[in-house]
Amino acid sequence: MRISPTKFISLLFLVLSVFYLYTAYNIQVFSFDENAPFNARTFPIYLGYAGIFLSFLKIILPEKTTVTVDHKLLDYKSISYIIIISLIYAAVILKIGYFISTSLFLIASYYFLGERRWVWMFLLSFPFVAIFMYLLHGVLNIYLRDPFLKYLGVMG
């Protein structure tokens, strides 16, 4: 038996709703609130049941329109690269600072999306981020924490 992707997602949603409902029942409420008409558990419990009901309906009802996605036309390679460099960017942003990490993230993204015009890639990374930081920090007075630039004495 082959299950359609929409029904598979609905099945995952059903599992999520069951887990959510289980967690909702386990929310610790104050003892005096235990039998109150409404406590911290009430709304999540309703939501859990609603999620189970709706996903169950989606699984059992026939699909009027089937969404077909041709996986050969999906660019898994590029999206994987972009997600990986986004994760690396998130991991290093606090350590090496906003300026360098963001500029390197931009250059890497341009490269993995197939760009090879290095002059444009450079202009739209280091100088672009510097101007953006100046606008935020210098003009709008929005603080951007950057240990590297602080070390160099560029930022306070």
List the interface residues with other proteins, window 61-100 (CB under 8 A): 61-65, 67, 69-70, 72-76, 78-79, 82-83, 86-87, 89-91, 93-94, 98
Q: Is 20 in the site for other proteins (CB under 8 A)?
A: yes
Q: Shortest distance, CB of residue 152 to other proteins, whole angstroms?
A: 19
Q: Is 152 in the site for other proteins (CB under 8 A)?
A: no
Which one, 89 or 148, has the nearer CB to other proteins? 89
Size of the site for other proteins (CB under 8 A): 71
Give me the helices (H) in the chain, please.
5-25, 42-60, 76-96, 98-112, 118-123, 126-133, 147-152
Residue listed under structure tokens 């003009």: 139
C-alpha span between 14 and 60 (Å, rounded): 12
Using CB under 8 A, which of 18, 42, 100, 130 touches other proteins?
A: 42
Instruction: Please choose, from the candidates 152, 132, 149, the residue with its C-alpha nearest in 3D space to the C-alpha of residue 140.
Output: 132
**Residues 131 to 150: which contact other proteins by CB under 8 A?**
132, 136, 140-142, 144-145
Instruction: Please choose, from the candidates 14, 15, 6, the residue with its C-alpha nearest in 3D space to the C-alpha of residue 64.
Output: 6
